[in-house]
Amino acid sequence: MNQITPPPRIEIIPATAPFSEGQRSWLNGFLAGMLSLDGSTPLSPGQNDAVLSPAGDGDDGEAPWHDQTMPIADRMKLAEGRPLRRRMMAAMAQQDCGQCGYNCNDYSDAIVSKAEPRLNLCVPGGKETARMLKTLNEELEKSPAASLETGSEKETWHIDFDLSGCGLDYVVGDSFGIFASNDLGHVDQIIALLGASHTTEVRGKTLRDVLRDDVSLAPAPDTLFELISFITGGAQREKARALAQGEDPDGDAATLDVMAALQKFSGVRPHPEAFVEALEPLQPRLYSISSSHNATPGKLSLTVDCVRYVVGKRKRLGLASTFLAERIKPGDELKVYVQKAHGFALPQDPKTPIIMIGPGTGVAPFRAFLLDRKATGAPGKNWLFFGHQRSDCDFFYSDELNAMKTSGLLTRMSLAWSRDGDKKFYVQDRMREVGRELWTWLAEGANIYICGDAKRMAKDVERALVDIVAQFGARSTDEAVRFVAELKKKGRFQQDVY
């Protein structure tokens, strides 16, 4: 691992982001306004979210109604024209009192995402809030897509990094390692559960800094349950001991992150030093690089799908994806490294045709391949299979890819939208449709690449490839399996799946 000093400066450049032209021009204007501010002014996560998420709903993240002294009518006026989730937030009493189990922002998000069906939880808002939420919820019910507002169920970010001066270099196919830090709000909730002070010194730092930067707050490790079993008794002790041994006494083990474990054993307050010792170190996360050094020297970009989900009433955040999405701001320096790819690269001969299959964020390294081939004038033919949920909101880099198609750099582009029609339609379905041509490319010596989801997509795509080889290459299934295995052995079939 090559950790660098000084780390690169990050800048976020929506000009190359996977937005439509309209979104991009709005975002450019908005971001230009933000950047003209003093760079040292931190953006709130909400602002970042609104500015940079392509799946964003055009909201600017501001909440001018967030004033508990303001009457509901004035709050609703200020929220006019905003997305439903923001109007729902405005209907609440703005006290962030937690009586509903959320803060106002999270309660409205939970209702709109349908994770929370109850509309009467805002105690200080009383009947006024409940009535307004009911009215707004009717709007939600009328439009099945309203919960998404923009239609996309994904929140995917394009992030540009400035590597100048940090000595890092990469080639297309490499990945970028990010050392992220935990969300401070989450850290503070854990400190409150411990009944400790932020400034308690642990490992020569404050407890708050250690919990933010050094330890994982995600799955509760066995060692934490061991610690809990040492400092408690009776049934609690038995339960903690069982969990420490990988058993699941209450059927909730899979959902127990560090905070949920402290809540499960409420009242157990380990000493901060012992607590930190029981946690795992915070690990970096890898992302496929979606830029080419040959095209934009000193720059590097990533295409990141944001991991957020709800368990019970609590919003869970993927560590690094939400760090990149909402906890950094232009100009920040990050701890990063380049992970060299092993067996995932453009062919050595620039004339070799390539077939790239990358649904979702799997498109990232293929954008890099194409930009690189353009920059180096590689004459080989290029065929991209891209797929995602909906054509109108999930077509990443559409302007760029369409321009590459028009210019002839992208010889073929085959698209598959899984949720545009009544039936799922995936990249491998498109591959089967054009199996004859795909086989011809392979027979001409093309390399084939897959990037993206490892659990289902990559296996299904490989199966489709075997079927295509069997059908159009006039082989039995066994022979086709051997043919594909041979492609892999020769380095002509490469994968970057996660």
Ligand X SMILES: Cc1cc2nc3c(=O)[nH]c(=O)nc-3n(C[C@H](O)[C@H](O)[C@H](O)COP(=O)(O)OP(=O)(O)OC[C@H]3O[C@@H](n4cnc5c(N)ncnc54)[C@H](O)[C@@H]3O)c2cc1C
Ligand Y SMILES: NC(=O)c1ccc[n+]([C@@H]2O[C@H](COP(=O)([O-])OP(=O)(O)OC[C@H]3O[C@@H](n4cnc5c(N)ncnc54)[C@H](OP(=O)(O)O)[C@@H]3O)[C@@H](O)[C@H]2O)c1
155 binds ligand Y (CB under 6 A): no
With CB under 5 to 8 Å by kind, the binding choice for 427 among ligand Y, ligand X, none is ligand Y
Q: What are the distances in angstroms from CA 103 to CA 43, 134, 225, 317?
A: 19, 19, 29, 16
320 binds ligand X (CB under 6 A): yes
Q: Tokens representing 84?
A: 């439903």
Q: How far is the CB of 51 from ligand X (least distance, A)?
A: 19
Q: How many CB atoms lie within 10 A of CB 257?
A: 18
Nearer to ligand Y, 12 or 457 (CB): 457
* Binding residue count for ligand X, defined by CB under 6 A: 19
Nearer to ligand Y, 84 or 320 (CB): 320
Residue 84 phi/psi, 5° resolution?
A: -55, -45
Tallying the residues shown for the chain, one arrives at 498
Nearer to ligand X, 57 or 326 (CB): 326
Candidates 319, 338, 427, 469; binder of ligand X (CB under 6 A) is: 319
426 binds ligand X (CB under 6 A): no
Q: Rounded to 5 degrees, what angle do the CA atoms 413, 145, 107 make?
A: 125
318 binds ligand Y (CB under 6 A): no
Q: How far is CA 443 from the centre of its chain?
A: 37
Q: Tokens representing 156?
A: 């995917």
Q: Tokens representing 323?
A: 């760090």
321 binds ligand X (CB under 6 A): yes
What is the 3-state secondary structure of 191-257?
HHHHCCCCCCEECCEEHHHHHHHCECCCECCHHHHHHHHHCCCHHHHHHHHHHHCCCCCCCCHHHCE
456 binds ligand Y (CB under 6 A): yes
Return the residue nearest ligand Y (CB atom). 360
Nearer to ligand Y, 127 or 455 (CB): 455
386 binds ligand Y (CB under 6 A): no
Candidates 146, 286, 434, 481; binder of ligand X (CB under 6 A) is: 286
Site for ligand X in 360-379 (CB under 6 A): 361, 364
304 binds ligand X (CB under 6 A): yes
Q: How many CB atoms lie within 10 A of CB 462?
A: 19
Nearer to ligand Y, 259 or 450 (CB): 450
Site string for ligand Y, 334-363 (x = CB under 6 A): -------------------------xxxx-
Q: What are the distances in angstroms from CA 376 to CA 180, 293, 351?
A: 34, 11, 12
419 binds ligand Y (CB under 6 A): yes
Go through 381-419 and write b for each residue having 16 or more CB atoms within 10 A of its CB, e for each that does not. bbbbbbbbbbeebbbbbbeebeebeeeebbbeebbbbbb
Whose structure tokens read 């010596």? 445
Nearer to ligand X, 150 or 288 (CB): 288
Which residues would be at the binding site for ligand X (CB under 6 A)?
175, 218, 285-288, 303-305, 307, 309, 318-321, 361, 364, 496, 498
Which residues would be at the binding site for ligand Y (CB under 6 A)?
154, 305, 359-362, 387-389, 418-419, 424, 426-428, 452-453, 455-457, 460, 498
